[in-house]
Structure formats: structure tokens, C-alpha cells
Structure 1
Amino acid sequence: MLIKRSPNGIDLPFPSEITPRALYESRRSFIKQIALGAVGGAALLEMAQREAFAQGTGAKLPAKLNQAYSALDKQTPFKDASSYNNFYEFGTDKSEPARYAGTLKTRPWTVAIEGEVKKPMTLDIDALLKLAPLEERVYRLRCVEGWSMVIPWIGYSFAEIIKKVEPTGNAKYVEFVTLADKKQMPGIGSRVLQWPYTEGLRIDEANHPLALLTLGMYGDVLPNQNGAPVRMVLPWKYGFKSAKSIVKIRFVKDQPRTSWNLSAPSEYGFYSNVNPEVDHPRWSQASERRIGEDGFLSRKRKTLMFNGYNDVASLYAGMDLKKFY
């Protein structure tokens, strides 16, 4: 087993294990105010949630389960869902995001919504949390590499955003732009992708009830390595379509260029719907393994068309989904 050590031979904690200076100083102030009786119960709760949000975990997000959009599959354990991740801004190995994403500062955070809309706006994370009632939805998420998870996400339909900004008749697509900050994201130096990471949807896809603007998982705010503080979750598409750590949403007339399509157009198309009949050039997509449930020696499970979310099939009526992969 290869054990990584620092150049001087001394084992150091990972960045994600180090408490930021601003955070521990805010804790001191928080404790002092408690001792002085300077804050009430509601204020205590808000301060605790803000501190937990700054750490990317631990702030409870009350949300009612939406059974209409909740898979009955066995849920992936949190420890697996938060330690086996694709988030190239923090490294290409599945374990690296959990190790290094502690450098990501999720407050303050704003998302600019612009382009072909009547009401462009910039919303901070608190405004996004309050824009619509939060729901918990248990979604299957299938990744192009052949693995899948079942995660209880918290958020609301992206359609709520669409209603707020009122797209013009020229808005045919929605582009998502994510944070690209070398100081916070060590993987940005990699040339594997063009930065910032961008993704896109047709506007009717973005308006589908399944398209979830996501702010939490497992009853808490999003951990940094899972795309904090705000991301998309599109359960009928391969996982890389669900943009993480979003800072800009643009409504545009022309189909946006997306990061993986730019990097490897023969492997990653714009639509990227889960389709077991279309193989990746280097492997089959007909089967998958469920992380935390299926071992390497277990028989793989069959991959379902649209990942089992057949509600979206009408979006692609008449399209050749082998051509528009």
C-alpha cells in the first residue's frame, strides 16, 4: 500500500481536517455570547447553522419528503456518498475531493442569473434557500464510469428559478458555470478539462420537475466534496451533467459548449442521458454497480433507460438517442 507523506517525512493533516482561522474565531465569539446570555434560542440556532454551513456539513435542512419523486431503492450510506466522488476541481481520484475540499469557502456565496431573461438577478445562498419550499427527494444517480448511488437530496425544482427570472422567447438553453478558484481548488491546475467547468440543458429539460436545484443531502447542507453549497441533480442523465458549486446560471439562445464535450466529444455528448443501448467508446453502459451495496465480485445490475425515470421520455420523442447521445 502506498502511503503519502509530506516531503520532510512528517505526516500532516489533510486540508479538509484543518479548521479555518475565521471559523474557530467565530466559534470563540459564539461561545462568548452564549456565556454572556447575549443571544436567544432562535439566534443560537441561526448562528449554529451558519457555522455548520461554513464547514459544509452539519446544518440541518428541514424538508418534507416528496414521495412522488423518491426512489424506493436502498439508500447509499452517507460515508460512501461523501467519500467516493467525481469533482475534478479537487483531484481526479475518487477519494481526493473528500480529502481536499475543506479549502472551499461556501460563505459568502452568490449565484448570478443572467442572459435571455426579463428579470436577471444575483441571489446569495440564503436567498436560494428561501426561494421555494425545500423537498427531500431520493434519487438514483448513475455515473458514466459504471457505478451508481441512491441519495436523499434536498432542494426544489429548478422550474422555480425559471419562474422567477422569466426567460424571453430567445432562451432555448440554460448554461451552468461553476466556481474555478485555484486558491480553493487544487485540481484547477489540471489540464484534463477547460475551466471553469460548464454544463448545459435545453430549457424544457431544465423545466422538468425532476431537475433539482440542490442545497443539501441526508438532511444536512451539502458537504463540500458533493458540490456545496449549490448544485444541480439530474437523475436521468449521467452524473457529470449535474454541475456542482454553481456561481452563474445563463439563459442562452444557442447550445452551450460543455466541459466534457469539449474535452472528449466522441465520448461525452451534450444530452448524456442514461442509455444502456449506447456504449461508451471504452466500456459498456448496459450494467452498473451500486456503491456501498454491490461488491466487485457481485453480479452487476442492469442499467435502466433514463436511469428508470421514464417521465422524461416525452422530452426526446422523435429523437435518435444514439445520434444525440
Structure 2
Amino acid sequence: MSRLHRDRGFTHPIPSEITPRTVYEERRRVLQTLALGGAGAALAAWAGRDALAQAATRPGKLAALAAAPSAVPGASTLDKPTSYQDASTYNNFYEFGTDKADPARNAHTLKTDPWAVEVEGLVKKPGKYALEDLLRLNAQEERIYRLRCVEGWSMVIPWVGYSLSELVRRVEPLGSAKYVEFLTLADKARMPFLGSRVLDWPYVEGLRLDEAMHPLTLLAFGMYGEVLPNQNGAPVRLVVPWKYGFKSAKSIVKIRFTEKEPATAWNKAAPQEYGFYSNVNPLVDHPRWSQATERRIGEDGLFAKKRKTLMFNGYEAQVGQLYSGMDLRKFF
């Protein structure tokens, strides 16, 4: 998919040709190759991705990320976790490339020390938090969350962090604050694809305040008991398990409390395809594919058996009340 954009010089992005469509077309191409008897070539391409997975370096455990299992009700699924190698080499992080394998290849240029997150907007206690200060705000815990990708794939990842609400309460939002906006790092010197025009930079995401305050919304610093790899959003990211993965902003540098709904990156790029809420809803299809089923990354590759997509990614009992009375086809 990155080849398509490079050939165009990243000068005229077309919403219908943004990553998901090319991912879909590439998979069709591989399947067609297999059907025509070219199994060797297709499997070689897949093996190349596996070689990248084997070569992926793990940052190493940090004492600060030692974590006990979460006590938050419904926080951890019993589903088998995706392998670390798959979870760290099949990523969307457009600042490092538009192909799923690009972040693992290119994100070594990201510098995560020192790091700070600035909190501003409609709060009583704005300020700047060094990463060390954020880590000290609350005890770390491990939560095994499902993560759903828009094009029909999913993962199960053990994240390390704590509820974002811990930070929100400390900064004391004003009564006029209705939304929380997340801005990510935009460093052209270390993020080679920021010169593209696929999206507006910096990458922006947002939640309603009650979504941000929900105990399942995680401020994450690690996964699999280790510090986050660069390609997975080091050193601090958001994880919102009942929404599509692109809602979980990576490498956060600013959190802003606002009265109006933030203009988010994918919603601006393709509003007819990516709504502000982006809740996992098998009853509402993406314009170019069904959302009713999914495949788990790492389970039998291209031939993985599809499973039914669960409402709110399986967290309906915990978060369904947030959307009581809402038209989920209109507010998608």
C-alpha cells in the first residue's frame, strides 16, 4: 500500500485509496496468485513478513512496568493473546510509513527520552508531565484487551498501564469540558513520512469526556510486560478497546480538554468512512466491506477462520450504557 502513495508523491491523497483499500487489494492479489498456482511466490512474500517479525527487537523489561493483573471488572479477556512478534510488526503508524510492516522497519528513529505530555484547555490544573511523573501517578496493571482493525483483522494484546481517568481527575476538568483531544508527536526529523499528505499532522484523536473517564480507557506505557516498542506508540499511548484501533492515539504529547468535538485525523480525511465515535459495531458496515466478521492476526494467516464481530468489540456490558438512546448508524 505504501507503493501506491509513493508513486503519487503523497501530493494528492484520495480518501477512497487510503490504506484500508490497498490492504484489501493486496490480500486479494495474494489469494489470486495462490489460486493460479503461484503458491511459492505468495508464501515467500508472507515469509518475508515473518522474517521481519523474527528480527524485531524487544526493548527489554523496565522495573516501572511491573504490573499485577487488573482488578477492573471486564478489563481482561480470556482470549489467547496474539504473539508479540505479530503485534509488534503489523501496525498502523503512518508517521513511519503506510504499509503495515513499515513502522517496525522505520520507527527506530523515534526518540522517546526525554518525553513529556502537556495538559491544557478547560481544566483547573493544566501542566506538563514528564514521563516519569505519569508513571508515578498510579500503579501499573496488566489488561488483556482485544484490539479491532477496521479492515477485518483483530489482535489480543496484554497492555500495561492504568485508567486514563486517574490523570483526568488530577487535572480537574471544568464543567464546560465535554471532550478530550489527544495530539501526537509530529517530528519531521525522526518521522520520515510526515512529509506526506495522507493525513493532516499532527495526528489528532478525541473522546467524549465520559468515554475518557471510563475505567476501560487505558493510558498505556507497555505491552507484554515490557516498555512499548516504538512502532506500537512509545512511550505513552491511548488504548480504547471497544473502538477501532486508530482511535487509540500513539506517542501522545498533548491532551486538551475542549467544549466542542475535536476534528480528528481520519474523520477529516474520509468523513463518510470514519466517524468520530468509531465504535466496533457489526451491524454497521464500512462503505467498502462488512464489519460482521473478523480474523485474528497470527491464526493460520490468510486462511484463518472468520469469527463473528462482537458489539463494542465484546465490551457491550461495560460500555453500552455510554450510548444509550443514540442512533449508532448516524453516530458511527
With normalisation by structure 1, the TM-score equals 0.82
* Residue identity opposite 1:63 in structure 2: A
1:63 to 64, 67, 82: 67
Distance of 1:110 and 1:304 partners within structure 2: 36
State the match for 1:295 in structure 2.
Answer: 301
Distance of 2:59 and 2:99 partners within structure 1: 20
Deviation of 1:294 after TM superposition, in Å, equals 4.1
Distance of 1:274 and 1:302 partners within structure 2: 12
Does the alignment pair 1:220 with 2:226?
Answer: yes
Deviation of 1:187 after TM superposition, in Å, equals 1.4
Unpaired runs of at least 5, structure 2: 1-40, 45-51
State the match for 1:97 in structure 2.
Answer: 103
1:273 to 246, 263, 279: 279
Unpaired runs of at least 5, structure 1: 4-13, 18-51
Alpha carbons 1:56, 1:228 under 8 Å: kept:
no
Deviation of 1:109 after TM superposition, in Å, equals 0.4
Alpha carbons 2:296, 2:304 under 8 Å: kept:
no
Does the alignment pair 1:263 with 2:269?
Answer: yes
Does the alignment pair 1:156 with 2:144?
Answer: no
| CA deviation string 1:196-238 (max 9, x = no partner) | 0000000000000000000000001100000000000000000
Does the alignment pair 1:144 with 2:150?
Answer: yes
2:326 to 278, 296, 319: 319
* Residue identity opposite 2:285 in structure 1: D
Distance of 1:272 and 1:298 partners within structure 2: 25
* Residue identity opposite 2:327 in structure 1: D
| CA deviation string 1:59-114 (max 9, x = no partner) | 35100111531100001000000011011010000000000000000000000001
Alignment of 1:105-254 (within 5 A): 105-254=111-260
Alpha carbons 1:57, 1:223 under 8 Å: kept:
no
Give percent identity, aligned residues only.
Answer: 67
Does the alignment pair 1:305 with 2:308?
Answer: no
Deviation of 1:315 after TM superposition, in Å, equals 0.2
4+ aligned runs moved over 6 Å, structure 1: none
Equivalent residue pairs, number: 277
| CA deviation string 1:260-311 (max 9, x = no partner) | 0000000000000000111111111111110012432232111000000011
* Residue identity opposite 2:103 in structure 1: P
Deviation of 1:57 after TM superposition, in Å, equals 4.4
Deviation of 1:56 after TM superposition, in Å, equals 4.7
Distance of 1:140 and 1:314 partners within structure 2: 20
Distance of 1:213 and 1:264 partners within structure 2: 27
Deviation of 1:58 after TM superposition, in Å, equals 3.9
Distance of 1:298 and 1:130 partners within structure 2: 41
State the match for 2:8 in structure 1.
Answer: none
Deviation of 1:145 after TM superposition, in Å, equals 1.2
Alpha carbons 1:56, 1:229 under 8 Å: kept:
no
Distance of 2:59 and 2:131 partners within structure 1: 13
3-state SS, counterpart of residue 296 of structure 1: helix
* Residue identity opposite 2:69 in structure 1: L
State the match for 1:8 in structure 2.
Answer: none
| CA deviation string 1:109-137 (max 9, x = no partner) | 00000100000010011111111111100
* Residue identity opposite 1:101 in structure 2: A
Distance of 1:135 and 1:298 partners within structure 2: 31
* Residue identity opposite 1:172 in structure 2: K
Q: Which has the larger radius of gyration?
A: 1
1:283 to 264, 284, 289: 289
* Residue identity opposite 2:119 in structure 1: I
Distance of 2:252 and 2:60 partners within structure 1: 18
State the match for 2:37 in structure 1.
Answer: none
3-state SS, counterpart of residue 257 of structure 1: coil
